[in-house]
Structure 1
């Protein structure tokens, strides 16, 4: 019995130690200096996390001026995250996120932030709809002080309008890790999958009804 108690105590000790180290590393991500992604071939990039990346990818790809939206991971401290590692709710790390490649001459970063808030339940903490967990938390990433001011201004205005706390966290952008191939364009490629039919497409349609003025002609 004593041996069992000692073994459990050792396991608990190392678990607590790893947890503390993880929190420290995660705080360093939040406190870091933002990295600005340069415009290439006239295209800029922006990064958002808001529940399941299948849903978020489809929302942004419906917007005029957005060339592509890529599913992946951001906001954490480990290298080479995967869907499996990110889904481990015991580790406070990366969130499912998207990289939005857009033409700033057609759509502004400010409008993309509006799209972000219009396409979610802004008060839901650690998730969207049925997707709940730290990996599904809402984050808006800024690359410079101008973007940070835009985000904070819109977040404050929304909080006042709803008279509620807005769940989205504001992080300095550090790195985006592209997700596995099978996640890319998932909604488009799997329109009859049950989650897509019951969660993703309804979420996209709710967004379209709120901001029809920003939609591409074929949407």
Structure 2
């Protein structure tokens, strides 16, 4: 797939970026997935600084996608399937504001779609949806060793016990959306 002017960008935070990245890399219509940080105050944060929770950044994935092949709504439906949008600043054992559930919309159209999907998710989840909806923020690409992490380290403990089950759930639930 190639990049063109009709492609769109989505920025999503739902816990550790390795989990989201691994799933979206398998989804049809996704042209590029990049792990990074956004939503904080400190310029050029490092992974260690973000993990310490002092920069205000969230771990996010930045997705470039072809809306002719996959809709923003589809991306959000998958997002709400592969993380828990009812836990404040937590995904499993990952705790802190850097692991918050957040959607950084990139346009008024994305904001409207996100609001609608969040409202619909209130009927799916048992607890209230705490996912934040934020305008675009300065985005920083994470260090190179975080990119494509799951594919490079599938046997690493976190990948085997946390990331792999999310990928398996995606494959089972959304088989038709695979490449």
**TM-score (ref. length: structure 1):** 0.76
Gaps (5+ residues) in structure 2?
A: none
Q: Taking CA–CA contacts closer than 8 Å with sequence separation of 6 or more, which of the two structures ends up with the larger relative contact order?
A: 2
Match of 2:102 in 1: 139
Deviation of 1:143 (Å): 1.5
Gaps (5+ residues) in structure 1?
A: 1-38
Deviation of 1:83 (Å): 0.4
RMSD of the alignment, in Å? 1.5
Secondary structure of the corresponding residue to residue 74 of structure 2: helix
Deviation of 1:148 (Å): 0.9
Give the whole-Å Cα distance in 1 for the aligned partners of 2:164 and 2:124. Answer: 27
Which consecutive segments of 4 or more residues in structure 1 shift more than 4 A? none
Secondary structure of the corresponding residue to residue 122 of structure 2: helix
Give the whole-Å Cα distance in 1 for the aligned partners of 2:4 and 2:139. Answer: 16
1:62-112 alpha-carbon deviations (Å, 9 max, x no partner): 1101012101101112211110111123x2600001110111111111111
Contact persistence 2:49–2:55 (CA under 8 A): no
Change over 3 Å in CA distance of 1:163–1:189 after alignment to 2: closer
The alignment covers a number of residue pairs equal to 177
Contact persistence 2:45–2:140 (CA under 8 A): yes
Residue from 11, 17, 20 that aligns with 1:56: 20
Alignment of 1:13-24 (within 5 A): none
Match of 1:130 in 2: 93
Tell me whether 1:44 sits opposite 2:44 in the alignment.
no
Higher strand share: 2
Deviation of 1:163 (Å): 4.4
Give the whole-Å Cα distance in 2 for the aligned partners of 1:117 and 1:194. Answer: 24
Higher helix share: 1
Deviation of 1:190 (Å): 0.6
Larger Rg: 1
Alignment of 1:44-193 (within 5 A): 44-89=8-53, 91=54, 93-193=56-156
Contact persistence 1:44–1:104 (CA under 8 A): yes
Match of 1:23 in 2: none
Give the whole-Å Cα distance in 2 for the aligned partners of 1:146 and 1:83. Answer: 31
Give the whole-Å Cα distance in 2 for the aligned partners of 1:145 and 1:183. Answer: 30
Match of 1:207 in 2: 170
Contact persistence 2:45–2:55 (CA under 8 A): no
